[in-house]
């Protein structure tokens, strides 16, 4: 029973915060567990501590699979009921994870938790597409991404605090409280945005047909690839950052503080994009962001390769890496919302399925980009910086060759 009826139209600031909370559920669930990995390893597999890292990769696998389930569901039963189904899965998995007695039990819980978290992301993307289009959609997505950037990047600091205070089991209790609060907020404030006339039957044949339509759309396909390259860079940074800050730069437990600083500083780019995208267009801004990152990453890599960076004092090396990391997050702040809007633009009639395919593809393949970059860690940031330069170059070329729509 609702405490109060949903508004017909939420105030814009509240709507953006609500969409950001939905979008951030998945990212927070990934990044906040990073500081708990040593404790998880000590609890379940002290003989093989690297096995604890599976709680991240298994979550991503579940998230990718969940998007293909909840996306079509969102187009069939509506956004609100889809979120309820996903939140129920997430809450149950969080409860199981909190009382897990083996690593295998915890991994199973994380798999289901990832599936549930994907429903929150699908709901946010489909709701945005229902209510906005074109540059206005990009503006909303960009402002939402401001919070999306801040929450997951600051999540290790929050996760470290919770883990130190309550242990890793308390972290799963926090996940349960978080999803409950977000679900309650959405159900009591946001009305259904999918009209009954626009609902599609939840049938396997229809779902395959809709997914094929997404992949056959040239615009959607092109910007889906660009979005995957951008997300892959962020995933590579997240997977490599702790080793770089701890092993290469010697910062130890201060790693989450620097991670949070990067997120908070770089969030300004999403606000800047929200203003510029209405005036300049989505593609020109993305071209500028990717082109700038090609130059910065290439110069940084060359400076490390030639030994110039090694000549700097340790403090200067730390702040040089932090400055470059901020530029990486700035680039994504100027591109993520735009690229998502571009890939969704021709797919409004199947927004839920489109969000599912785009999310599953970008999440799954970004992990494939991040894994080799992370595994190539050689004690320096060079593999990460080089990988970012290559991904930026590929993304730049994909946007640049879309000349017919360059002004949009």
The Cα–Cα gap between 390 and 392 comes to 5
CATH superfamily of 206-407: MFS general substrate transporter like domains (1.20.1250.20)
- The region of weakest confidence among 11-20, 351-360, 390-399 is 351-360
Its pTM stands at: 0.75
Residues 6+ apart with CB under 8 A from 269: 329, 330, 331, 332, 333, 334
| Integer CA distances (angstroms), 1 to 91, 184, 187, 188, in order | 19, 11, 10, 9
Inform me whether the pLDDT recorded for 100 exceeds 60. Answer: yes
Structure tokens at 296: 């910065």
Residue-level pLDDT at 352: 63
The Cα–Cα gap between 322 and 241 comes to 10
Residue showing tokens 């640049």: 400
Per the model's pLDDT, the better-predicted residue between 230 and 354 turns out to be 230
With cut-offs at 50, 70 and 90, classify the pLDDT of residue 1: very low
Inform me whether the pLDDT recorded for 7 exceeds 50. Answer: no
Sort 52 into a burial class: Cβ within 10 Å, 0-12 / 13-18 / 19+.
buried
Residue-level pLDDT at 408: 52
Residues 276-283, mean pLDDT to the nearest whole number: 80
| Integer CA distances (angstroms), 88 to 3, 55, 64, 202, in order | 20, 20, 18, 20
The Cα–Cα gap between 236 and 367 comes to 8
Per the model's pLDDT, the better-predicted residue between 334 and 40 turns out to be 40
Q: What is the total residue count of the chain?
A: 408
Contact 338, 282 (CB under 8 A): yes
Contact 89, 37 (CB under 8 A): no
The rounded mean pLDDT for the chain is 85
Residue showing tokens 């379940």: 44
Burial string for 362-374 (b: 16+ CB within 10 Å, else e) reads bbbbbbebbeebb
Inform me whether the pLDDT recorded for 407 exceeds 70. Answer: no
Residues 251-271, mean pLDDT to the nearest whole number: 78
Residue-level pLDDT at 50: 61
Inform me whether the pLDDT recorded for 217 exceeds 60. Answer: yes
Residues 6+ apart with CB under 8 A from 185: 18, 21
Contact 18, 142 (CB under 8 A): no
Residues 6+ apart with CB under 8 A from 163: 35, 36, 39, 170, 171
* 10-190 to CATH, choices 3.30.460.10, 1.10.540.10, 1.10.1740.10, 1.20.1250.20: 1.20.1250.20
The Cα–Cα gap between 376 and 59 comes to 22
Q: What is the largest CA-CA distance in the chain?
A: 66
Angle at 210 between CA 207 and CA 211, to 5 degrees: 85
Domain locations along the chain: 10-190, 206-407
Per the model's pLDDT, the better-predicted residue between 219 and 387 turns out to be 387
Question: Residue 11: what are its φ and ψ, rounded to 5°?
Answer: -55, 140
Per the model's pLDDT, the better-predicted residue between 100 and 61 turns out to be 100
The Cα–Cα gap between 43 and 318 comes to 33
Question: Residue 251: what are its φ and ψ, rounded to 5°?
Answer: -95, -10
Nearest to 141 by CA among 362, 340, 348: 340
Q: What percent of the chain has pLDDT over 70?
A: 91
Structure tokens at 401: 């060759």
Residue-level pLDDT at 4: 39
Residue-level pLDDT at 404: 61
Residue showing tokens 């209790």: 173
Contact 127, 365 (CB under 8 A): no
With cut-offs at 50, 70 and 90, classify the pLDDT of residue 366: confident
Residues 6+ apart with CB under 8 A from 129: 137, 344, 347, 348, 351, 354, 355
Q: What percent of the chain has pLDDT over 90?
A: 36
Residues 219-232, mean pLDDT to the nearest whole number: 89
Residue-level pLDDT at 266: 66
Residue-level pLDDT at 38: 79
Tell me if domain 10-190 and domain 206-407 are identical in fold. yes
Inform me whether the pLDDT recorded for 2 exceeds 60. Answer: no
Secondary element (H or E) of residue 313: none
Q: Residue 201 region, left (φ>0) first, then alpha (ψ -120 to 50), else beta? A: beta
Q: Convert the pLDDT of each residue in 165-187 to its tens digit.
A: 999 999 999 999 999 999 999 99
- Indicate the SS3 state at residue 66: helix
Residue-level pLDDT at 91: 98
Secondary element (H or E) of residue 363: helix 351-375
Q: Convert the pLDDT of each residue in 254-263 to its tens digit.
A: 888 888 888 7
Contact 139, 11 (CB under 8 A): no
Burial string for 286-317 (b: 16+ CB within 10 Å, else e) reads bbbbbbbbbebbbebbebbeeeebeeeeeeeb
Q: Convert the pLDDT of each residue in 15-24 to its tens digit.
A: 888 998 998 8
């Amino acid at each position: 029973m609702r405490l109060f009826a949903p508004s017909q139209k939420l105030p814009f600031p509240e709507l953006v915060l609500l969409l950001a909370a939905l979008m951030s559920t998945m990212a927070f669930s990934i990044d906040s567990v990073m500081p708990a990995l040593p404790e998880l390893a000590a609890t379940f597999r002290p003989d093989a501590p690297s096995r604890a890292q599976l709680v991240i990769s298994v979550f991503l696998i579940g998230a990718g699979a969940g998007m293909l389930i909840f996306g079509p569901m969102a187009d069939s039963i509506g956004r609100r009921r889809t979120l309820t189904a996903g939140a129920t899965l997430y809450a149950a998995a969080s409860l199981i994870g909190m009382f897990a007695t083996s690593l295998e039990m915890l991994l199973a819980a994380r798999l289901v938790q990832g599936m549930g978290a994907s429903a929150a992301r699908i709901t946010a993307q489909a709701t945005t597409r229902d209510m906005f289009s074109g540059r206005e959609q990009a503006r909303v997505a960009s402002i939402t991404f401001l919070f999306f950037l801040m929450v997951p990047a600051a999540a290790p600091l929050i996760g470290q605090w919770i883990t130190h205070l309550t242990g890793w089991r308390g972290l799963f209790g926090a996940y349960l409280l978080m999803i409950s609060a977000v679900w309650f907020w959405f159900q009591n404030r946001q009305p259904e945005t999918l009209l009954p006339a626009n609902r599609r039957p939840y049938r396997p044949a229809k779902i395959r047909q809709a997914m094929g339509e997404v992949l056959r759309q040239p615009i959607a396909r092109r910007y889906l690839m660009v979005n995957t390259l951008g997300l892959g860079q962020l995933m590579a940074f997240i997977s490599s950052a702790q080793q770089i800050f701890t092993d290469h730069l010697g910062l130890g437990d201060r790693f989450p503080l620097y991670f949070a600083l990067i997120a908070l500083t770089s969030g300004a780019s999403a606000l800047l994009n929200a203003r510029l995208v209405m005036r300049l267009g989505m593609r020109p801004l993305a071209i500028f962001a990717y082109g700038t990152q090609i130059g910065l990453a290439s110069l940084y890599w060359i400076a490390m390769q030639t030994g110039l960076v090694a000549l700097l004092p340790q403090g200067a090396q730390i702040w040089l890496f932090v400055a470059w990391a901020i530029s990486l997050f700035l680039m994504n702040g100027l591109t993520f919302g735009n690229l998502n809007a571009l890939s969704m633009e021709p797919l409004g009639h199947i927004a839920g399925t489109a969000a599912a395919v785009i999310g599953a593809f970008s999440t799954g393949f970004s992990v494939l980009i991040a894994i080799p970059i992370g595994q190539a860690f050689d004690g320096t940031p060079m593999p990460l910086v080089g990988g970012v330069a290559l991904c930026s170059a590929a993304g730049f070329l994909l946007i640049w060759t879309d000349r017919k729509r360059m002004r949009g």
